[in-house]
Amino acid sequence: MRTATPVIEIRDLHKSYGSLEVLKGVDISAPAGHVVSLIGSSGSGKSTLLRCANLLEDSERGDVLFCGEPVKWKGSGLARHPADRAQMVRIRTNLSMVFQQFNLWAHMTILQNVMEAPVTVLRRDPAEVEAAARKYLDKVGIGDKCDAYPAMLSGGQQQRAAIARALCMEPKALLFDEPTSALDPELEQEVVRVIKALAEEGRTMIIVTHDMRLAGDVSDHVVFLHQGRIEEEGPPSELFRNPKTERLKGFLSATVPA
């Protein structure tokens, strides 16, 4: 059952790298069970916003809330950072991130990769974690690759292993940063099918994607970022069929197949 309580809420977020202002006052909300997609051209701030939501990047101003709980900060401006390390770790472990480049440990088997964080970070029982890891690898369609090493898998299989690893943390939300952009079209579809299945389960997800078809198929809400600001947002049916701003019209004409 979906609720209106945001798992992740961001209010008036500002982020700079030196003199370059990347986010210029952004508000997003991901209620429990909803999928929010972030679209926009390169440099619009999509991935930075995702990393700020997961506290991988510090923001200069604005609020980040996890299940209604605001992140505690100390310092200000470029010197601002989380004040409570225990809170930061707890939030990060509840927001599993799937990266563009998989980030699997080359010296570990796929099963070991999926088990590593729940055992070492969450201190969960290894036998229970192994059972869960095998379940999630089956779920993403590579249960037969448990004993393989990452180099033995295709890119699509590696990304599905990365998704199983994220799921094994039993997170409140999944964050995807361009999960298919490093893959060729055939392998991309393997990953898209997994993401669609997770959306159908009612998983809370924020997805940074260049794939407008994926965004249209799985999202409850789509946010179009342009130069660090939200240019337009709304349900995908409305945003893609009836864009209101010239910038979004131009972006869609360049990215959506005819």
CB 205, CB 36: distance < 8 Å:
yes
The reply to whether 10 and 89 lie within a common domain is yes
Q: Are strands 6-17 and 95-98 parallel, antiparallel or unpaired?
A: unpaired
pLDDT of residue 186: 85
Backbone phi, psi, residue 66, to 5°:
-120, 115
Domain end residue (candidates: 148, 170, 192): 170
The reply to whether 64 and 11 lie within a common domain is yes
- What is the span of the domain harbouring residue 119? 105-170
pLDDT of residue 257: 59
Position 22 in a domain: yes
CB 62, CB 24: distance < 8 Å:
no
Position 246 in a domain: yes
pLDDT of residue 182: 81
The reply to whether 51 and 77 lie within a common domain is yes
Position 100 in a domain: no
Alpha helices in the chain (DSSP H): 46-53, 85-93, 110-120, 126-139, 155-168, 185-200, 212-218, 236-241, 246-255
The reply to whether 189 and 210 lie within a common domain is yes
Sort 106 into a burial class: Cβ within 10 Å, 0-12 / 13-18 / 19+.
exposed
Position 159 in a domain: yes
Does the predicted model carry a pTM greater than 0.85?
A: yes
The reply to whether 29 and 69 lie within a common domain is yes
The reply to whether 161 and 179 lie within a common domain is no
pLDDT of residue 91: 95
pLDDT of residue 2: 47
Domain end residue (candidates: 134, 150, 170): 170
Position 99 in a domain: no
The reply to whether 178 and 235 lie within a common domain is yes
List the pLDDT tens digit at each of the 258 positions of the chain.
445 679 999 999 999 998 899 999 999 999 999 999 999 999 999 999 999 999 999 999 999 999 999 999 999 998 999 999 999 999 999 999 999 888 999 999 999 999 999 999 999 999 999 999 999 999 999 999 999 999 999 999 999 999 999 999 999 999 999 998 888 888 899 999 999 999 999 999 999 999 999 999 999 999 999 999 999 999 999 999 999 999 999 999 988 655
pLDDT of residue 50: 95
pLDDT of residue 181: 86
The reply to whether 10 and 129 lie within a common domain is no
The reply to whether 72 and 28 lie within a common domain is yes
Position 1 in a domain: no
Counting the structural domains of the chain, the total is 2
Domain end residue (candidates: 120, 135, 170): 170
The reply to whether 194 and 242 lie within a common domain is yes
The reply to whether 60 and 166 lie within a common domain is no
Element (H, E) at 208: strand 205-208
The reply to whether 165 and 218 lie within a common domain is no
Position 14 in a domain: yes
